Amino acid sequence: VSVKAGRRIFWAVTLALGAAGLVLSLLAGPVRTTPGDLIRLVGHPDPIRWAIVVDLRLSRAVLAFLVGTALALSGAILQGYFRNPMADPFVVGVSSGASLGAVLATALGFEAAAFGFSGPGLLAFVSGLGIVMLVYALSLRRGGFKVETLLLTGIAAGALASALTSFFLFMRSDSYDQAVFWLLGSFQLAEWGQVATVAPWIVLCLLASVWLAPDMDLLALGDDAAQALGSPVRRVRKAFLAMSALLAALAVAVSGIIGFVGLVVPHWVRLLIGPGHRRLFLASALAGGTFLLYCDLLARSLLPAELPIGVITAAVGAPFFLYLLHKKR
């Protein structure tokens, strides 16, 4: 198969899978729904079925897709940013910082909802972004700026945030259930308000990253080379770091920490369609959304009680990832 044809197959298959996943999401659930029910819904909506299919299932599917998009795009950006395939939204501390914020809010009983976020969601968002700024500021101080310093500072800050998170969880053992939600992720609470809050920013970041993708390609040559070729390296780096942090913080704020998507999806995509960043960003966004859509389907249909989605993403993602790696070799 030629590269071009391979790419076409990738797009077609992912789009088809995404569409099928969306329909499946509307059909699957404890309340039996047939395709006929969905069609009837268009004509004369029965309020109960409307609430179940549109308010609960559809909003949830859309949110899962958006969050998958955000996480995969954030991971793709960071892997390019650090020129390191190990990078994902965890390494710069966003996820740990955000979970600390959420758990803190829970422990302190901070419930004030705003901008479509819950109280913990809001604090998760703020602290997720805050920790990245802190990490960035810390790595700037030592005479200029080094990517390695940023990476290591991020890991250290993330570890510190995780330690504090565990501490607060330990102190408030009665908020365990909430803690599981924030540490392993879930779309149980999805609603249209959340979709409306995160969607514009995710779309904006996707467009901006695709626009800036040629500069990311240059970065792969090394900062000096990129600079010499006319790319404003520092500013490009700042923009990408900010976007990846924003994407990850948004994702955590509405759905808790969902691991593995940001690490694995860009890898699959790179193996399948090549390293060019414009294509990589777009394809990661689409594949990440589709992947998380299916993971959420599994999370809510495997057992009578819902599984945290973080369990699914890792359990499904890791073996498939290993398979792809070996096949490629």
- Check binding of 7 to other proteins (CB under 8 A): no
The span from the CA of 282 to the CA of 270, in Å, is 11
The SS3 of residue 157 is: helix
Residues of span 258-277 touching other proteins by CB under 8 A: none
Looking at residue 17, its amino acid is L
- Check binding of 304 to other proteins (CB under 8 A): yes
Query: Shortest Cβ distance from residue 258 to other proteins (Å)?
Result: 17
- Check binding of 48 to other proteins (CB under 8 A): yes
DSSP designation for 306: P
Residues of span 103-142 touching other proteins by CB under 8 A: 114-116, 118, 129
Segment (H or E) for 78 = helix 59-81
Query: Shortest Cβ distance from residue 250 to other proteins (Å)?
Result: 9
DSSP designation for 173: G
- Check binding of 196 to other proteins (CB under 8 A): yes
Pick the binder of other proteins from 10, 57, 123, 310 (CB under 8 A).
57
- Kindly tell me which of 11 and 116 has the beta carbon lying closer to other proteins: 116
- Kindly tell me which of 11 and 110 has the beta carbon lying closer to other proteins: 110
- Check binding of 37 to other proteins (CB under 8 A): no
| Binding footprint of other proteins, residue count (CB under 8 A) | 62
User: What string marks each residue from 202 to 241 as x (binds other proteins by CB under 8 A) or -?
Assistant: --xx--x--xx--x------xxx-xx----xxxxx-xx--
The span from the CA of 170 to the CA of 193, in Å, is 32
Stretch that binds other proteins, among 24-32, 92-100, 276-284, 319-327 (CB under 8 A): 24-32
Residue 310, CB half-sphere, CA atoms under 13 Å: how many? Answer: 16
Residues of span 157-186 touching other proteins by CB under 8 A: 174, 177-178, 181
* Positive or negative: CA dihedral 153, 137, 77, 216: negative
**What DSSP string runs through 262-296?**
HHHHHHHHHHHH-S-HHHHHHHHHHHHHHHHHHHH
241 dihedral zone (left: phi>0; alpha: psi -120 to 50; beta): alpha
The span from the CA of 147 to the CA of 318, in Å, is 27
Looking at residue 326, its amino acid is H
The span from the CA of 120 to the CA of 126, in Å, is 10
Residues that bind other proteins (CB under 8 A): 29-31, 45, 47-48, 50-52, 54-57, 59, 114-116, 118, 129, 143-148, 174, 177-178, 181, 188-189, 191-193, 196-197, 200-201, 204-205, 208, 211-212, 215, 222-224, 226-227, 232-236, 238-239, 242-243, 246, 304-306
